[in-house]
Structure formats: structure tokens, C-alpha cells
A = this chain, B = another copy of it.
Amino acid sequence: MSNPASDAPAGERDVALACAILKQRFGERLQTGKSIREQHGHTLSWLPNQPPDAVIFANDSQDVADIVSVCAEHKCPVIAFGVGSSLEGHLNAPQGGVCIDMSQMNQVLEVQADDLSVRVQPGVTRKALNTYLRDTGLFFPIDPGADASLGGMAATRASGTNAVRYGTMKDNVLSLRAVMADGREINTASRAKKTSAGYDLTRLLVGSEGTLGIITELTVKLHGIPESIAGGVCHFPDVESACRATIQTIQYGIPIARIELLDVSQVIASNAYSKLGLKELPTMFVEFHGSDSATAEQSELFGEIVRDCGGSDFEWTKDEAARNKLWQARHDAYWAARQMRPEAEAVITDACVPISRLADCVEETRKDIEANNFLAPMVGHVGDGNFHTMVLIDMNSPKEVAAAKEFSERLSARAIAMGGTCTGEHGVGQGKTRYLRDELGDTVDFMAMIKQAFDPDNILNPGKIF
């Protein structure tokens, strides 16, 4: 099976003509300045910038359909842009083309409180949504590190610290509207909580990274804000005992809402950046959601498990300010890590393995980091078997760049060998294409068949996934 990215050679494309036609239609809403183009190719990734030829600010789904229709006619690549917090080069334009900036499509369209769902435009960010919802008693739980847009989060199948309890975007999207490569807008599913009505196009578009359709509207699940939230910190002599405590907690059926591991290097970084004063040991941030008595009971029970596994006392609190400080520090882990070497770039890995193999995978990776003398703090969504190392490298040193690439390659191979994946929540983008076939073999051919069927001219975000 050939690579769909090569099926429509750039030579046949007429990007300039498409842009000229779109300029007539969109006027000042189509921008071609160098800095705006570079900004729209830019992500939090270390991959080199490949700007699009033009950026158009869409106001509604009709704009998106019009842009895609013109681009389809001229085989011009189209890339959707949320806030630019992707980590795998999803927004780069290796074959040029048009970037559709979705930030103006930022309306919350309808809160369906009785159904615990909300209909939003794709440019709404997770924080904006929760601010909008603050009087409803409901919240949207998915929390990647950045304040990402919901469209972007769906496109990359994002998750975050709450996933152990609330799942990922895969689990929290009820239905999508999307403009397909032929310009048609489709609705992937009804609003029903369950459905067996044909192929699951909702889950097919979630995680398709803009290569099968451009998301123009989402209906996502909401959850009641828990009556009580308890959380706290504990530390462990080593990563293995932390993993053992996690496995026991989940097996016991304690409905833990967040369980995050920081390695010693990250604790040092976060102590400095977020003024935490934590002991320099593998450390866990934990949270429970439920009734007042349930969260207390769960905290006590978890504390017993931690002690059984050789960990410290589990210090927990229901105090909101203390909890917020902790979780702000967790979400700032990326910036804390970067502060350890401010002039460096961070290469962020995203391995995810069956939880039974997490301690092994983390330990081998730790040894690899030490053998290479990397500065590479590590954080883990330990309840899901997913962890990130942030390898801080000098992009002007070819030696460091090469070493980091080889490290990333070894880590992907290690995770795959343990029955895991090279990407738990960041997506394939440009950065992981080389590992996808290692992980899934011929299965990638069937993904490519879908791409070929839906987008035969390969105009939607070309050069990604495949």
C-alpha cells in the first residue's frame, strides 16, 4: 500500500490559484504575512517550522465548507488550527496550502444540562468552556497541559490528568459536525448517549488529526461538579512502589480522579518553579471526587495502600487553595522543566504501556536518560500507564538533537515491545509517523484505505499520521 501522502504530488496542486480565489472571497480575513504564517505553523514542538501559504480566519462552518471546496478544486492542502498547542507538528504545512484558524468559532452554542452535554464550536478552549459553565454545577473534565481548543483536543484524541476517571476525548465526544474533503458537512451521530447506528464515525474522526475532516462543531459530555474534592501528596522510595500502589488502588476499585507521578528531577524543577517544598523523591499528586464521606474514605484507604507499598504518609486536604496550588504546579510541569535550561528546547515523549509494565518502562527509560546525561524530567499519568519525559536539548547542537531523536526512537520501541504505544495522547503528527507501522503493522494499510477513500487528493492536513 502506498503512502497516501505521496498520492497527489505537490506539482499537481495549484495552491497559488486557490489562495487568489479565497482572497477574493475572504478579503482581510485571509492573511499572508510571514509572521502570521509562521505562527500558524508553529507548535510547542521542536520540529522545524513549515508555514502555510495563507491563513484564513473562519467565522462559521459555511466559511470552512467554502474554503475546503475551493481547495478541493485546486488540490490545495488545508490545515485546521485551534490554539497551536500541538506537540507533534500537526500544524506544519510541508506541502504549503491554507491554514484555517478556528479561533473565531468560539461560541458555546447550547448547554444541555439535563443531558449532561454541551454543544460548542471548535475554537472554544477547555478553560473558556469551564468558565462559561461555572454557574451550572457542571464541568468538562479533559485537561491537557495547555488551554487547548476542543476541536484540536478532539482531533488529537487528547486527554490529561483526569483521564483515569473521566476518560479521554474518545470517551467524551457524543457527536461531531465536520466538513469533509468534498466540502460536505456531516453530523457523525445523534445526541443519544448510546448508539448502535452503523460505523462509529465519531470515534473515527476523534484522533484523525484533521486528515479526514475538519471539525466544525462538537457535542461533548459534561459531568456534575463533585460535592467534595480531596487531594494530596505522597512520596515513594522508588518508581516501582509508586506503580504498585497505583495498580492496587485501581484493582481495589477506588474511583480515583487523578493520580500523577513526578520523578525526582521533575520534583526539583517544580519545587523551584512552583515553590512547593516537596521532598526530592518520586512523588504522587492524587485527587478524589465524590461525596464528602466518600472522598474522606477513599483518601484514608489510599493512604493505607501507599504505606503498604513502602510510601510516605499520604497528606490530604479538602482545602481548595492548597489543592489548586498543587494542580497548577502539575499543569506547569512543562514550564518548570524548561526553566531548568531556559535556552533549550524540550523534546516531549509520550509512551503509554499496560500499567503492569509501567515500572519497567519508566525504569529502563530512566537508565537511558542517565546513560545519555540528559536533563529530562519525567511526569506520568500513572493510572493510565502514560508518561512524558521532557528532554532539554540545545537545538544548535546537532549532537544533542541526534541523541534526543535516538532516545525517542528507543523509547517508542521499548513501549511497543511492552505491548504499549508510541503515543498515548499527543498523536502521530509528523513526529511519530515512523513508529506507527512498528506498532501496528498492516493495520496502517487499513487506515490509509480510509484516508484514500475520504480524501483521494490528500488535501486534508497532508504529511500527518502517514
Contact = CB atoms under 8 A, between A and B. Distances in A.
Interface stretch (A34-42, A195-203, A322-330, A365-373): A195-203
Given A250-B116, A297-B291, A453-B452, A156 B187 contact: no
A444 B198 contact: yes
A266 interface: no
Interface residues of A, number: 97
Contacts of A171: 167, 171
B198 A447 contact: yes
Interface in A171-227: 171, 180, 184, 186-201, 203-204, 206-208, 212, 223-227
Contacts of A294: 290-291, 293-294, 297
Given A247-B114, A453-B453, A454-B449, A422 B186 contact: no
A416 interface: yes
A207 B200 contact: yes
Contact of A200 (B206, B353, B416): B206
Interface in A416-440: 416, 419-428, 432, 436, 439-440
Contacts of A24: none
Interface stretch (A251-259, A270-278, A311-319, A396-404): A251-259
Contacts of A195: 157, 352, 421, 423-424
A87 to B, nearest CB: 10
A356 B114 contact: yes
A355 interface: yes
A186 B441 contact: yes
B250 A465 contact: no
A235 interface: no
A436 B197 contact: yes
Given A114-B356, A189-B440, A294-B297, A428 B198 contact: yes
Contacts of A114: 247, 251, 354-356
Contacts of A338: none
A180 to B, nearest CB: 7
Interface string A449-463: 110111000000000
Contacts of A223: 253
Contacts of A251: 113-114, 116, 137-138, 224
Most chain B beta-carbon neighbours within 10 Å: one of A196, A201, A204, A449: A196
Nearest to A351: B192
Contact of A197 (B224, B384, B422): B422
Most chain B beta-carbon neighbours within 10 Å: one of A114, A189, A441, A452: A114
Nearest to A429: B196
B198 A200 contact: no
A106 B370 CA distance: 47
Given A194-B386, A294-B294, A432-B197, A184 B115 contact: no
A208 B197 contact: no
A240 to B, nearest CB: 13
Contact of A186 (B224, B247, B443): B443
A135 to B, nearest CB: 14
B354 A192 contact: yes
A196 B427 contact: yes
A28 interface: no
Interface string A367-398: 00000000000000100111000000000000
A159 B416 CA distance: 31
Nearest to A185: B442
A420 B196 CA distance: 11
A13 interface: no
A168 interface: yes
4 tightest Cβ-Cβ pairs between the two chains A and B? A203-B203, A114-B356, A224-B253, A191-B419
Interface of A: 112-117, 137-138, 156-159, 163, 167-168, 170-171, 180, 184, 186-201, 203-204, 206-208, 212, 223-227, 247, 250-253, 255, 289-291, 293-294, 297, 301, 350, 352-356, 381, 384-386, 415-416, 419-428, 432, 436, 439-444, 446-447, 449-450, 452-454, 465
18 contacts: A114-B247, A138-B251, A157-B196, A190-B440, A191-B354, A192-B424, A194-B424, A195-B424, A196-B428, A197-B421, A197-B423, A197-B436, A198-B207, A226-B253, A293-B294, A294-B297, A446-B454, A450-B450
